[in-house]
Amino acid sequence: AQSVSQHNHHVILSEAASLELGCNYSYGGTVNLFWYVQYPGQHLQLLLKYFSGDPLVKGIKGFEAEFIKSKFSFNLRKPSVQWSDTAEYFCAVNAYSSASKIIFGSGTRLSIRP
């Protein structure tokens, strides 16, 4: 069965610090990978996605993620966080051969100290 693990439940950083949120997935076949963000009081928004090609993908708001197939990982990074990045971040996988359901990780709450 497919699963997604996010190892950090809550991360607290100061503004301008660098961010890396870990994500590992479990699935033996071809996958599509996503990071979604949920700002306080708002709905899930797609931050970035990986389908194929360059394993380093860039998303909105300066975020990027690197797909490392050998490690089954898709970590999210940002070189310098801002207070407005305070949100819940969800890693997710969509198995290419499935009927398209998205499997989500448990989420990482990011708090930025101004």
Residue 60 touching another protein (CB under 8 A): no
Q: Which of 87, 109, 112 is nearest to 37 (CA)?
A: 87
Pick from 42, 41, 31: which is nearest to 92 by CA? 31
- Is residue 1 a contact point for another protein (CB under 8 A)? no
**Smaller CB separation from another protein, 49 or 77:** 49
Could you give the CA distance from residue 92 to residue 37 in angstroms, rounded to a whole number?
A: 11
Q: Please, which residue, 17 or 24, has the CB nearer to another protein?
A: 24
Question: Which of 53, 20, 50 lies closest to 33, judged by CA?
Answer: 50
Please list every residue from 13 through 52 that binds another protein, using CB under 8 A: 32, 36, 42-46, 49, 51
Residue 77 sits in the site that holds another protein (CB under 8 A): no
Closer to another protein by Cβ: residue 83 or 96: 96
Three-state secondary structure call for residue 29: coil
Number of residues that bind another protein (CB under 8 A): 23
Burial class of 97 by CB neighbour count within 10 A (0 to 12, 13 to 18, 19+): exposed
State yes or no: residue 94 binds another protein (CB under 8 A).
yes
For another protein, the binding residues (CB under 8 A) are: 32, 36, 42-46, 49, 51, 90, 92, 94, 96, 98-107
